[in-house]
Amino acid sequence: MSILSKSSSFLRGALVLTAALGCGAMVVNAQTTDEATTTALPAYSSSADQTVAPAANTNLALNVAPFNFLNAMQYGSGSRSGAPRYRGGNSNADGSSRWIFYGGVGLAAPIGNTKTYFTPSWGIQAGGGRQFSKKFAVPVEFDYDHFGMTASTLNNQLTLYNNDITYFCSLPANTATCAADGVTTLSSLDGNMHVWSFTVDPTETFMQGDAWGAYAVEGVGFYHKVSNFLTPSQQEACDPYYGICESYVANAVIDHYTSNAVGFNAGLGLTYKFSKFSNERFYGEVRYVFVDNSHRPGVTVNSPVATTYAETNDFPANSNRTGYFPIKFGIRF
């Protein structure tokens, strides 16, 4: 009877242990998402001092997608449906930057009536603004285009100024003053003209390969035109510490004219990417610029001398409409 009691106790303990292990296995099985996988229970000894150890491999696989580092770098957080959202606030949906910047240098060549008075020279360009996609951007641009003056313009202007000086000093009220001040006619004359502008220039990229691209641009904005006339004059520079002065001859502006107007530009450009993985591109472009200046009447070398002396606008050509071709080369990024 005692043996039977011990055996009954042992059996009851074994049944309890088996039931506990079975419940544990059911809990573990409920936590895995792979219902087709079964976990074999390890065998246990009935010895009381036997250490219970789980199986080496329970084959419990969690249904978790692997971490994709490239996706994490490329896309930002947000809705997982629809088009992907690129990381950061500086990128558009197609991966292009939201901002564009560029700068270049080149030359400017006058055309039409502008060519009668001015000669080609140099220019600079800088711009930047919103880029809405790989194909369309709306930058704001600053341009400075410099021009020389034709020989006929300078010769006519020199004659006009000397006629004014001669007529002024010939008047009885001015003769003594001119003699005392040593007023004489000009021996030479130089000059230049420049146009600086601020414009809004929508730009459409209609071709973009791995290396070469092409774009069209058109813009409108404010244009400021300035003509300067210079002549050699005696200058003096003094050192305030040592009190030493040095005289030299340099061109000084003796007359200048300005004109403000609305202007338009349009042109084509080519781009070349430095590398496949680079955003920087070399560009070259040519545009046509038209500035709708309002003509102001004035005098020329052919006007009567008395009229030229009384008139303040000695260079009406500065207020003529302006046309030229700026050609620029630079970097876009």
Q: What is the pLDDT of residue 248?
A: 66
What is the Cα–Cα distance from 169 to 186, expressed in whole angstroms? 14
pLDDT at 242: 73
Give me the pLDDT at residue 244, please: 79
Q: Which of 101, 145, 103, 143 is nearest to 122 (CA)?
A: 145
Other beta carbons within 10 Å of 72: 11
> pLDDT tens digits for 281-302?
999 999 999 999 999 999 999 9
Residue 204 vs residue 68, higher pLDDT: 204
Q: Which pLDDT score is estimated for 190?
A: 96
Indicate the fold that domain 99-332 takes in CATH: Porin (2.40.160)
Pairing verdict, β 118-119 and 136-149: antiparallel
3-state helix, strand, coil in the chain (%, to 5): 25, 40, 35
Query: Residue 264 has which token pair?
Result: 């338009």
Q: Are 269 and 207 in contact (CB under 8 A)?
A: no
Q: Inform me whether the pLDDT recorded for 1 exceeds 50.
A: no
Q: What is the mean pLDDT of residues 220-243?
A: 86
Q: Quote the pLDDT of residue 309.
A: 85
Q: What are the CA-CA distances from residue 155 to residues 112, 152, 321 (Å)?
A: 20, 5, 22
Q: What average pLDDT does the structure give for the chain?
A: 80
Rounded to whole angstroms, the Cα distance separating 36 from 40 reads 13
Please provide the size of the chain in residues. 333
- C-alpha–C-alpha distance, residues 114 and 107, integer Å: 15
pLDDT over 60 at 150, yes or no: yes
Task: Determine the residue type at 213.
Answer: G
d(CA 285, CA 180): 56
Residue 313 has pLDDT above 90, yes or no: yes
Q: Which of 128, 124, 129, 122 is nearest to 143 (CA)?
A: 124
What pLDDT is recorded for position 157?
96
Q: Which of 73-82, 103-112, 217-226 has the lowest mean pLDDT?
A: 73-82
Region 243-249: mean pLDDT is: 74
pLDDT in tens, 169-202: 999 999 999 999 889 999 999 999 999 999 999 9
Highest mean pLDDT out of 27-36, 171-180, 248-257: 171-180
For residue 54, CA distances in Å to 21, 26, 40, 51 come to 11, 15, 10, 10
Question: What's the half-sphere exposure (Cβ side, CA atoms, 13 Å) at 297?
Answer: 4
Q: Examine the pLDDT at 237 and tell me if it is beyond 90.
A: no
pLDDT of 40-79, one tens digit each? Answer: 445 544 444 444 455 555 454 445 555 554 444 443 444 4
- Of 13, 11, 63, 19, nearest in space to 41 by CA: 19
What does the domain layout of the chain look like in residue ranges? 1-63, 99-332
